[in-house]
Chain A
Amino acid sequence: MDFFLQLLFTGVGIGAVYALVALGFVLIFRATNVVNFAQGEFSMVAAFLMVVFAVDLGWPYWLAFAIAIAGMALLGAIFNLLVYYPLRNRSYLPVLISTIGAQIFLSNSVLALYGPQPQVLPGWFDTPGIQLGPVYLDSQYLLIIAVTLGLVAFQYWLFERTLLGKKLQATSQDKEMAALLGIPVAAMIMITFVYSAVLGGIAGILVAPVLFVSIQMGSAIALKAFAATIIGGFGDVAGAILGGFAIGIIETFGAAYISVPFKDAFAFLVLILFLAVRPQGIFGERVAEKA
């Protein structure tokens, strides 16, 4: 039972990371109808920025964090301008392929600039964790869960309670109509990409002390976060978050009780199962094309 609870905590912790990245996915998808295959690289680049500033240069953690987040905002903006915007009027396929190209470019640029060695990033807290009864609560995992819940709440407030959120939603549902109503669509899309990059960056910085900071961490997280969005219901914010937690838990339990080397396959197997049985996910709606 103790083991079970420990696994649950770990699963929820890693699931929170997937949830954050999934959130970034869903936001971009809702705004632009684009699946951003480079979403994970935002996490990876942010983690490497932290390593450069906090570890290599020895600057204070909070300062390095601020710089990394600012860097991600900038990266999100550049990404929008170079990868999405020139293709905004084309069908989904060129954009999808373009984001795949961006993923390869970003991960290999970091490799070329920094080298293949995985790096270590220290956690936010000095105390490694607290013991709560039979379960050891790692402090970094606690931070991940807390930040994720905070960001989710912020997300809800932004989208449902502010005018900006309404404008973002309008843009995502009908770009042309939004433009006709005076909403600056290009600016809304820019905000979406910047915000998604920042979300991804935060996820990467949060999870980096738990894993190694490596070139591959981005795609590993991203594919699972993508699976999470599909399981939750593609395009649904709550679904993406729940899906993220679900994948984290399934993967952790699968690794512990079934097999560690095949751990990465579990997320994909669950994904294929969902796609076969219930492609609209838990919360999604079936949408039919008007004949």
Chain B
Amino acid sequence: MTIEGEALFLKVSGHPPSPTLPRKGGGGNVPAGLLAYALVAVVFVALAATVKTDDYVANILMQAATYAIAVFGLSIVLGLCGQINLAQAAFFALGAYAVGLGTADYRLPFWLCLAVGIAIALAAGALLGVSTLRLGGHYLAMVTISFQQILTVVLINAIGFTHGPDGVSSIGRPALFASGQAFLALAVAAFAISGYFVWRLPNTRLGRAMRAVRDNELAASAAGIDVFRTKVTAFALCAGLGGLGGGLFAGGFSYVSPDQFAFSDSIVLLTMALLGGVSSPIGSAIGTGLLILIPEWLRFLKSVPGLYLAIYGAAVILIVIFMPDGIWGFVGRLFRPRALAAPAPTEPLALRPAASGADVVLDVRGLAKYFGGLKAVDGVDFTVRRGEVHALIGPNGSGKTTTLNVVTGLYRATAGRIFVDGVDVTALPAHKRTSAGLARTFQNIRLFRSMTALENVVIGAEREGNTLVEAGHGALQSRARAALDFVGLGSRAHETVPSFSYGHQRLIEIARALAANPTVLLLDEPAAGLNSSEKKSLHDLLDRIAAEGLTILIIDHDMTLIAGVAEHLTVLNFGRRIADGETAEVLRQPDVVTAYLGAS
């Protein structure tokens, strides 16, 4: 009855949160999805509150609901944002002990304790997230494990405060939900609400930012996303959900002890996330349900100590090898939703960078970048004037891409200053320079591969400081579609990146930059890897962009293209500027010919 109902709930609650579908419901105030979801949720909360089950079933449901909330947290930080967190049980513990100690020892009201627990977990998660400023990958895994281990040691040994291994009993519940049945209904409601939040998150601005960070951090940063803040937020949300689950867990079972929140429990939570499918709350729910029910069905395995966990460990390996997207990911791939026809844009792409009146749009003075003993850029000056197409050329290793990387903020300058529209951006991080009006493409194409062309370009359009777009979802989509139309890919807006050819991916990157309505467009070897007909199209595109009055700084090796589009040339060699001036003139200079062009 209730168990089957739970399964039904999982099926009915909706399609996988597929990023390829644009969010419907721009019309009414309340999207249709919310209404359907709320209805289903209310039905199941009501069922949980009224249908009588025996204690055993009730306990299982309670554990499933609270664990699932914690696993939702993992689906955010790991599934959406791509950051590893092996301490979820620690955040669960923070919420559980806040409620436990608060209600049992200090006789504080349940809701207050739960709020405090969630707040502490949020703060701890943010703190852990701060470590991502410098670290990723294994280091991050290590920090999270350390945090988990330290918390376990504290829970066991700080006996005066935490009761040590004895645990905390007689944990209170709120007056309204004092009965087991009512509290279970509360847990299911919390599960439903947090599930909705996690379901909707991928298509919000924050969710898109997280997915961009997961797919390609450098590109996300260049597109204007504050990568660090996004990661910290992801960690905080994950931890907060863990704390919520833990607090409800404590209230539900009335007893907590340190051995329920050890490193192995963090692994259990991680396995639940992986088994179901780490990117979706439906996957989280499936994984949690299965990994709580299966052990109950296979309870005989627990008779031999270690056997059950050994199978767990083997299962983790098998899941990772054979089902990396989890059950729901596997199912999701079978039912790939048909790409919708994109709505027609309302108006053609407008490129109106803020005009400050100043003639000089980008001013680079005395720029230097040393990598230890290697002087990649050694005192380079140039200015780019509003509305011109300015090219930076030179032989390989002359420092062109390094210069671009320093200007856009990927590297910190060793010396020199950079001014965008008169504003000194030298000390700003990359995403802030994008807000200041820079937009770039990369030599090695950096798109967000799990997303559609449209979503990639929407991220570009969303940059702070883009005055041409109001924040509304429809307006962003419209502008993104217009940018894709401008480069000729509008009809394929809902296809994911891997289905585009290399040349077309280059165009999507350009569209992403254009959608941001930048002051200066910086192109790093846009012709690299293109065949001659693709280069011709690129030439035409650049002409069209220039005709809109947008300032372009382009690096490339194709001299035909450069001579065709660029009015002004700066030539670098060995990190120094050797020529600067009007194109035809510079190309005739003897040092330029010797260094780069070759005598014919």
Contacts and interface: CB of A to CB of B under 8 A. Distances in A.
Contact of A226 (B142, B218, B274, B411): B142
Given A110-B306, A234-B138, A93 B84 contact: yes
Among B142, B218, B264, B312, the one with the most A-chain Cβ atoms within 10 Å of its Cβ is B142
A12 interface: no
Given A94-B320, A96-B141, A291 B443 contact: yes
Contacts of B310: 104-105, 108-109, 111-112
B205 to A, nearest CB: 25
A35 B138 contact: yes
Interface in B271-329: 271, 274, 304-310, 312-317, 320-321, 324
A83 B305 contact: no
Interface in A101-121: 101-113, 115-116
A86 interface: yes
Contacts of A271: 142-143, 146
B203 interface: no
A97 B270 contact: yes
A96 B150 contact: no
A106 B310 CA distance: 7
A83 B156 CA distance: 33
Contacts of A234: 138-139
Among A98, A104, A215, A226, the one with the most B-chain Cβ atoms within 10 Å of its Cβ is A104
Contact of A101 (B143, B156, B308, B315): B315
Contacts of A230: 139, 142
Contacts of B267: 100, 104
B429 to A, nearest CB: 14
A90 interface: yes
**Majority DSSP secondary structure for residues of B touching A:** helix
B309 A291 contact: no
B316 A261 contact: no
A289 B313 contact: no
Interface residues on A, range: 35 or more
Interface stretch (A130-138, A182-190, A272-280): A272-280
A87 interface: yes
A227 interface: yes
A192 to B, nearest CB: 17
Interface in A215-239: 215, 219, 223, 226-227, 230, 234
Contact of B153 (A112, A115, A265): A265
B305 A87 contact: no
Given A96-B84, A112-B304, A275-B135, A265 B149 contact: yes
B142 A109 contact: no
Contacts of B443: 291
A107 to B, nearest CB: 8
B588 interface: no
Contact of A268 (B149, B320, B401): B149
B309 A108 contact: yes
Contacts, number: 139
Contacts of A101: 271, 312-317, 320
A104 B146 contact: no
Contacts of B595: none
A112 B313 contact: no
A83 B317 contact: yes
B24 interface: no
A258 interface: no
Nearest to B217: A289
Contact of B138 (A92, A262, A272): A92
B412 to A, nearest CB: 11
A275 B442 contact: no
Given A92-B137, A262-B153, A112 B306 contact: yes
Contacts of A96: 84, 138, 141
A233 to B, nearest CB: 12
Nearest to A111: B306
A111 B157 CA distance: 26
A105 B313 contact: yes
B313 A86 contact: no
Contact of B305 (A94, A112, A288): A112
A66 interface: no
**Closest 10 interchain pairs by CB?**
A111-B306, A101-B316, A105-B313, A104-B313, A108-B310, A112-B306, A268-B146, A108-B306, A108-B309, A101-B317
Given A90-B324, A96-B138, 16 more contacts: A82-B317, A97-B320, A98-B316, A101-B313, A101-B314, A105-B316, A107-B313, A108-B306, A108-B310, A111-B309, A111-B310, A112-B304, A219-B263, A262-B157, A265-B149, A288-B411
Interface of A: 35, 82-83, 86-87, 90, 92-94, 96-98, 100-113, 115-116, 215, 219, 223, 226-227, 230, 234, 261-262, 264-265, 268-269, 271-272, 275-276, 279, 288-291
8 contacts: A83-B317, A98-B316, A101-B271, A113-B306, A227-B146, A269-B146, A271-B142, A275-B143
